[in-house]
Amino acid sequence: MDYQNLIIGFGKAGKTLAGFLAKKGETVALVERSKERYGGTCINVACIPSKSLEYSARLSAAAGGDFAAKAERYRAAITEKRRLTAMLREKNYAKVAGTGAVVIDGEASFIDAHTVRIGGTDGTQTVTAERIFINTGAVPFVPPIPGAAESVHVYTSETMMELDELPENLVIIGGGYIGLEFASYYANFGSSVTVVQDGDAFIPREDAEIAARVRRQMEDRGIRILTGTKILRIDDGAAGTAVITETADGEKTLTANAVLIATGRRPNIAGLNLDAAGVAVTPRGAVAVDEHLRTNVPHIWAMGDVTGGMQFTYISLDDFRIVRDQLTGTGARTTANRGAVPYAVFIDPPLARVGMTEDEARSAGFDVRIARLDAAAIPKAHIYRAPAGILKAVIDAKTDIILGAHFFCPASEEMINLMKTAIDNGITARTLAGAIYTHPTMTEALNDLFA
């Protein structure tokens, strides 16, 4: 074999595993299809650039001014985003290469279970490996909307962040987390934003009370949210792009300078030729893995978004830990024992959650107690100029154990990590209520929330 380990994809799990195995003295090749993707999806086209824009957007909103001033700040934000991602790409490449792992540019395609063809700008090469790890991530899903492919004003979440000119009118197709984040960013930059979703329920996976508060706050900021609305077609015209919709009141037309299709992401397996390796896929097009992230081929693993699980960078990092434990540990770590998984939606203010909703807890048979606190009761929320949110916790009334936490407030993306620790370790609401926190902070609100 040419290498002991071949890793396909430069994402969080792949690059971390490459460095770990190389430092152990094993031979490692890491394949990435483009130099522009060193570091993976998060660094280049997702978490980092989008949150850079989110921060710039909040600064811009605070600065005010006319649309021309806002458009200029937007262009500066795009420039800063590009600087940041370029710097992180360089650092990621240097970090992996510095361990002794070999980075190969090109598209990987299986020839058989141990052999991969890699095609790049410098030609094609064939590589064999004892173990292979698939870490190719996910790509935006674009539904077959008539006119979308032909329009020059339609973007995905990845290409939208390359748009240099701030759109005056932005239509976002999809009311999921990605769509809502972009709605919040561009509203803060100064765009007029309309979010369109075909489902009637707004963020249905969230606690109903929290979802209602989020919708009201976003609409109060001027973001138009249309539920129960289907997209019929998209037509480019001299005056802009027309998004023709079907509503309960008949056809309606929305006019936009830009249309963002934010209808989710799908595992990126195109071109891998998994059949040649005998690797099974799920009905939804993900690489099928067990709780140890092994595929049905014993020496091939898959990690990160390509497995069809939760699409978070920190889950990809935990996937690395699971695989590492298979290779060098006890093998006890699995996808089944991650504990409660927190997440944050970076709207303004951010929404963060871990654990059960109120309805989920009641359906599971718990006798629940609900703790609520308006963000307006927290001094730090007023310092942030964002007192419109709410904190909610779901508690087992019999044991005082926290079952779920839902924070829609400034710094919730940080606070939710403490709540994961509490849930995983059975820390009671009473303990958090009696803890000592620094002041003025958002975390000190836990004194009052759990009192």
* 121 pLDDT more than 90: no
Burial class (CB in 10 A: 0-12, 13-18, 19+), 206: buried
Positions of E strands within 248-349: 250-256, 258-261, 265-267, 300-302, 343-345
Compute the average pLDDT of residues 158-181.
98
Q: What is the percentage of the chain residues whose pLDDT exceeds 90?
A: 98
User: If you ran DSSP here, which 8-state letter would residue 348 be given?
Assistant: S
Confidence of residue 223 (pLDDT cuts 50, 70, 90): very high
pLDDT in tens, 174-213: 999 999 999 999 999 999 999 999 999 999 999 999 999 9
Residues 6 or more apart whose Cβ sits within 8 Å of residue 330: none
Give the C-alpha distances (Å, rounded to integers) separating 168 from 68, 159, 235, 259, 337.
10, 17, 18, 11, 47
Positions of E strands within 87-159: 102-105, 107-112, 115-120, 123-134, 138-140, 154-155
* 232 pLDDT more than 90: yes
Give the C-alpha distances (Å, rounded to integers) separating 399 from 82, 230, 355, 358, 365.
50, 46, 16, 16, 14
CA distance 34 to 130: 24
* 238 pLDDT more than 90: no
Q: Which domains does the chain have, with CATH numbers?
A: 3-139+266-337 (3.50.50.60), 154-263 (3.50.50.60), 343-449 (3.30.390.30)
Positions of E strands within 257-413: 258-261, 265-267, 300-302, 343-345, 351-355, 368-374, 390-396, 402-408
Q: Which residues have a catalytic role annotated?
A: 439
pLDDT in tens, 247-259: 999 999 999 999 9
pLDDT in tens, 298-348: 999 999 999 999 999 999 999 999 999 999 999 999 999 999 999 999 999
pTM of the predicted model as reported, rounded to 2 decimal places: 0.97
The first and second tokens of residue 210, run together, are 């929290």
Q: Specify the pLDDT at position 122.
A: 83
Q: Specify the pLDDT at position 163.
A: 97
Compute the average pLDDT of residues 268-290.
98
Q: Specify the pLDDT at position 306.
A: 98
pLDDT in tens, 363-403: 999 999 999 999 999 999 999 999 999 999 999 999 999 99
